[in-house]
Structure 1
Amino acid sequence: MPLTAPAVDISALPVLCVDLDGTLVKSDTLHDSALAVARHHPAALLNLPGWLLQGKAALKRHLAGVVKVDVAHLPYNRELLQYLEQQHATGRPIYLATAADADIAHRIADHLGLFTGVLASDGKLNLAGKNKLAAFRSQFGDNFSYIGNASPDLTLLQHCKDPMVANPTPGLRAALRKARIAPVHTFNETASPLKAWLKAIRLHQWAKNVLIFLPLLLAHLRAPGLIVGAGVAFLSFGLCASATYIVNDLLDLEADRQHPSKRRRPFASGDLSAVAGVIVVAAFLAASLLLALLVPYVIAAISPSSSLLFPHKFLLWLGIYFVTTLAYSLRLKRAVLVDVIVLSGLYTIRILAGSAATGVAVSTWLAGFSIFFFLSLAFVKRFAELENLRERGGSTAGGRGYHVADIEQLRSFGSASGYASVVVLTLYISNLDAAQLYQHTNRLWLLVPVLLLWISRLWLTASRGELNEDPVVYAITDRRSLLLGVVVIAIVLSAL
């Protein structure tokens, strides 16, 4: 005879109250709202000081009035959500109790359909800490259970029945140990902070910054000071680039959360907080600036004969890169065709920055080649996004302005740009400029079929829907691409 679970007397259970920010949702909806305002209504940010003077509750009410955060795609704590669904199925009363504004709290409650009621900030009273406890006692007496995540929740966890936590902060963990409170349940859904930060700064994208060494390498200069100076410039550019990636991710939170793969990015998924992201951006930019200022002094100290004529020109290009990237994140990425021009230009800026850091001029051949080659990479990135969108049954790339119907046109633009770069290479090889640097210029002709093979294979892979939308990731992880890279190096060395 099968065993049956004993019936639970719901009336004997305390009312279950659940915090929102950092608990039910892994992110902070106040930060999400502020970032959405920065993305869609940047002029409204000028009102922030005045709103702050009115109090935190008023600030939340004002932000909620400017933007409507997409509650359907927030990074919910799935383990906690499953528990709430189980409790809801038994008929237990559950309240969403949060310091977030009532507008967003009610929209989340309506979306989930699990809550008996909502307790939230109303524009005047910030429902946190003691204010939240007073609201609980006024409505439930002492017959309530609470789930929180941060130090302000300690007061509620001390006075509730069956205290529970979700992704508790280190501060709350320490406070609970000191107060000798053992949560009856912990709902953890977190990623390794180290892995999350490595993913957020996109360390693999630093491969692009190798372009800084290109003017030095192609000029066949081996002065130790220039090499070390280029290395310092590489680190400076990498830190600046990582900072801009974080800024881009913070501004793209809502769009990333609706994307099948980008929703797993650390900030979109709630594995990293927006505040921590802002702090790291400031630290990275400060370190990048310091290293940029050191470049000419490092070169002069190691190789005095190679001192730069314009010592801080690298800093100028670094600033141009940062401003351009910021403009791209805020606006230009949504301008059709302008976005790919800017993307390709960011590659070329790296070469120009390398030239400024070492004092080695960029030849017209290298400039021409880079313009067409990197334009092809920018087009293939957009093409891959549309191809993957078509496979998912979509028709318009959100926030980009491209349509699936544009695929064939992008294919023609991109492949033509790639082959144009090969034409520039052939003209360089047949020119006298190459003969001044290479003893066996005829061997450089072997580069042409190798480059044609790589470009053609890249576009064929994208056309088959097998490109992960980032040609850089493809280039550094694809075995055949790496093999072709070794072949290129061998050809160049043999031509010296």
Structure 2
Amino acid sequence: MTPAADPPVSLETCPLYVDLDGTLTPSDTLYESVMLFIRRNPFNLLRMLAWLLLGKAAFKQRLAGAVRPDPARLPYNERFVQFLREERARGRQLVLASAADVRIVREVAAHLKLFNDTLGTNARSDGLNLSRRHKRAAIEAHAGASHHTRWAYAGNSRDDLAVWEGSAQAVAVNAPPAVLARLQQLHPQARVFERQRLSLLTVLRAIRLKQWSKNALLFVPLLAAHSLDPHRWAMVALAFLAFGLCASATYLFNDLLDLPNDRVHRLKRLRPLASAAIAIPTAVLLGVVMMVLAFVLAFAVSTAFAALLLAYTATTLAYSMVLKRLALIDVLVLSGLYTLRIGAGAVAAGVDLSNWLLAISIFLFLSLALVKRCAELEELDDGIAKLAPGRGYQPRDLSSLRAMGMASGFLAVMVLTLYIDSQNSLALYRHPDWLWGAAPVLLLWIMRIWLKTGRRELRGEDPLQFALRDPFSWATLIAMGCIGLAATVGI
């Protein structure tokens, strides 16, 4: 029976029971725990599959016994939290009631210091998953023990409808339209905290569409080979799309595994997954779909290209899980991933890959990877932090990394100058002497980006993303293109 015919009850006169996942936090502590457990060891996924056979409550108990999200690093619905603070200030009794494991519920309540009591799933006690009718029964029993015959409930999902049916008042937070429509039949006067809709722009930010610009490296072997074959360009364009989808999927998986660190980063905390603008299950589904599409396109290009894309995927995931936290190994892997794009472009186009191009690529991208690490370290305050979140570097490493990075950049220019008088250059260019003009242009760009890093003008940003919005970098690219054209056709 619904309470619609009952006399109105003031929000101040009955206890308010508050849901955790999706309500107090826009995220879900169960999914957060799963990501933490997988990040600790990918083979933990097999352990979790075995735990699922024990039932939902036992699964949550086992998982919470292994890992629990840090309440200080969870995102919260700030408008709703402010509402709870105001209700508590009025003397209202607040109880955090969640289907999450009771230990997680208690830790969140202790962190926020808003709640008088907690209710959570406790497999050791009754073996029940505290959701739907089980949650309603637990709330009724808890309210009755406090001599309250009426109570209010704040929730967000379809599972909460069974609880709202027994409540005297209702609060909806981020509830989907279908749930709101049903709730308003039960409680026409329900307090509603509007749901922030998932926009296309948010999805594009999550999949890092702007990072697809890095995949333009796939076209470099074609340009270096001076090929105008339309079929080859079409194959590389298809490869570009496959790499973009694959890279976006791996970015999603990386963000899922790095949620705790991203949330304490000045810039990364604003990412859609870190801020919970996109739900974890949505991100997983999106990532899987894009990965499948990527390999369908990759096999359409060639089996060899698909193998390289698989190598890129495996290396990227290994980087996300382990390698990014290993000092020096991380930057070598990053530079290798950029170079792998060039190799994949050569395979997709069916052209020979120059060893000179590989050497220039390795040194140049190692320099840029070190730029990124130095830019991150420049932002650390020695008196506050010793380690960058999720990284293996300390502020005192800055001078060493800067020296390695500048040396690597200069080596890229040196390899370029050695290439000018090589047999490869003489075979490809009618006037290779023009290429000497590229050396000081590239050298100036490398010195400038390192100077800006030391001045903290990159602000922890990816150097390639910085270059995309930097007019000087575009001018450098145009100048290099003009020099290459002059060397090819002469003036």
TM-score range, shorter chain: over 0.9
The one-letter code sitting in structure 2 at the alignment partner of 1:249 is D
Q: Secondary structure at the match of 2:373?
A: helix
Which residue of 2 is the match for residue 303 of structure 1? none
Letter in 2 for 1:201: I
The number of aligned residues is: 472
Are the counterparts in 1 of residues 11 and 169 from structure 2 also a CA contact under 8 Å? Answer: no
What is the alpha-carbon distance in structure 2 between the residues aligned to residue 490 and residue 393 of structure 1?
48
For residues 305-341 of structure 1, the C-alpha deviation after alignment (integer angstroms, 9 at most, x for no partner) is: xxxxxx4211111011011111111111111111110
TM-score by length of 2: 0.93
- The alignment status of 1:161 with 2:168, answered yes or no, reads yes
Output the CA distance in 2 between the equivalents of 1:402 and 1:37.
24
Partner of 2:158: 151
**Correspondences of 1:20-419 after superposition (within 5 Å):** 20-123=20-123, 124-140=127-143, 142-176=149-183, 179=185, 181-182=187-188, 184-188=190-194, 190=196, 192-295=198-301, 311-390=302-381, 393-419=384-410
Code of the residue aligned with 1:265 in structure 2: it is R
Q: What residue in structure 1 maps to residue 439 of structure 2?
A: 448
Distance 1:212 1:392 in 2: 43
- Local SS of the residue matching 1:416: helix
The code of the aligned residue for 2:140 comes to R
Q: Which runs of 5+ in 2 are unaligned?
A: 1-8
Q: Determine the C-alpha separation between the residues in 1 that align with 2:273 and 2:361.
A: 33
State the identity %: 45
Q: Read off the aligned partner of 2:75 and give its amino acid letter.
A: P
Cα offset for 1:477?
A: 1.1
- C-alpha displacement of 1:472: 1.4
Aligned residue in 1 for 2:6:
none
CA distance change for structure 1 residues 324 and 53 in 2, over 3 Å: closer, same or farther? Answer: same
Q: 3-state DSSP class of the match of 1:163?
A: strand
Q: Are positions 1:471 and 2:471 aligned together? A: no
Q: CA RMSD in A?
A: 1.8
Query: Structure 1, residues 335-388: CA drift from partner, whole Å, max 9, x if none?
Result: 111111000000000011011111111111101100100100111111111111
Q: CA–CA distance in 2 between the matches of 1:485 and 1:314? A: 28
2: CA distance, partners of 1:362 / 1:452? 24
* Aligned partner letter, 1:329: S
Verify the 8 A CA contact 2:255 2:274 in the aligned structure 1.
yes
3-state SS, counterpart of residue 260 of structure 1: coil
Q: Deviations over 1:101-134 (max 9, x none)?
A: 1000000101111101101111211111111111
- Deviation string 1:194-234 (CA, Å, 9 cap, x unpaired) is 22211111011111100111111110111111010100000
2-structure distance, mates of 1:114, 1:410:
46
Q: Secondary structure at the match of 1:389?
A: coil
In 2: Cα distance, 1:183 partner to 1:457 partner? 61
Structure-1 residue corresponding to 2:472: 480
Q: Distance in 2 between matches of 1:11 and 1:349?
A: 61
Given that 1:150 and 1:171 are in contact with CA atoms closer than 8 Å, whether structure 2 keeps it comes out as: no
Residue pair 1:382, 1:469 contacting (<8 A) in 2 also = no
What secondary structure sits across from 2:429 in the alignment?
coil
Letter in 2 for 1:126: N
Aligned pair in 2 of structure 1 residues 480, 244: CA closer, same or farther (>3 Å)?
same
* 1:41-77 residue CA offsets vs partner (Å, 9 max, x unmatched): 4443322233212211111111110013111110000
Offset at 1:269? 1.0
Amino acid at match of 1:256: D
Assess if the C-alpha contact under 8 Å between 1:85 and 1:114 holds in 2.
yes
Q: Is the Cα–Cα contact under 8 Å of residues 172 and 180 in structure 2 kept in the other structure?
A: no
Following superposition, the deviation at residue 183 of structure 1 comes to 5.2
3-state SS of paired residue (1:159): coil
Whether the 8 Å CA contact 2:20–2:96 is kept in 1: the answer is yes
Which amino acid counterpart does residue 369 of structure 1 have in structure 2? Answer: I
Counterpart of 2:428 in 1: which secondary structure? coil
Cα distance in 2 for partners of 1:408, 1:384 equals 12
Q: Which shows bigger deviation, 389-398 or 477-486?
A: 389-398
Deviation at 1:475, TM superposition (A): 1.1
Q: CA–CA distance in 2 between the matches of 1:429 and 1:173?
A: 69
Q: Output the CA distance in 2 between the equivalents of 1:189 and 1:421.
A: 51
Q: Distance in 2 between matches of 1:213 and 1:192?
A: 34
Deviation at 1:241, TM superposition (A): 0.6
Distance 2:393 2:384 in 1: 15
Cα 1:171–1:389 change in 2 (3 A) is farther
Kindly state the Cα deviation for residue 392 of structure 1 after the two structures are TM-superposed.
Answer: 8.4
1:465-493 CA-to-partner distances (Å, cap 9, x unmatched) read 11133111111111211122122222222
SS across alignment from 2:352: coil
Decide whether the 8 Å contact of 2:257 with 2:321 is kept in 1. yes
Aligned equivalents of 2:385, 2:296: Cα separation in 1: 45
Q: Which segment drifts farther, 151-160 or 340-349?
A: 151-160
Q: Contact 1:164–1:183 at 8 Å: present in 2 too?
A: no
Contact persistence 1:149–1:168 (CA under 8 A): yes
Q: Which residue of 1 aligns with 2:4?
A: none
Q: How far off is 1:439 after superposition?
A: 2.1
Q: Which SS does the other structure have where 2:448 is aligned?
A: helix
Letter in 2 for 1:140: A
Q: Distance in 2 between matches of 1:150 and 1:374?
A: 47
Do the aligned partners of residues 445 and 191 (structure 1) sit closer, same or farther apart at CA in structure 2, a change above 3 Å counting?
A: farther
Letter in 2 for 1:135: A
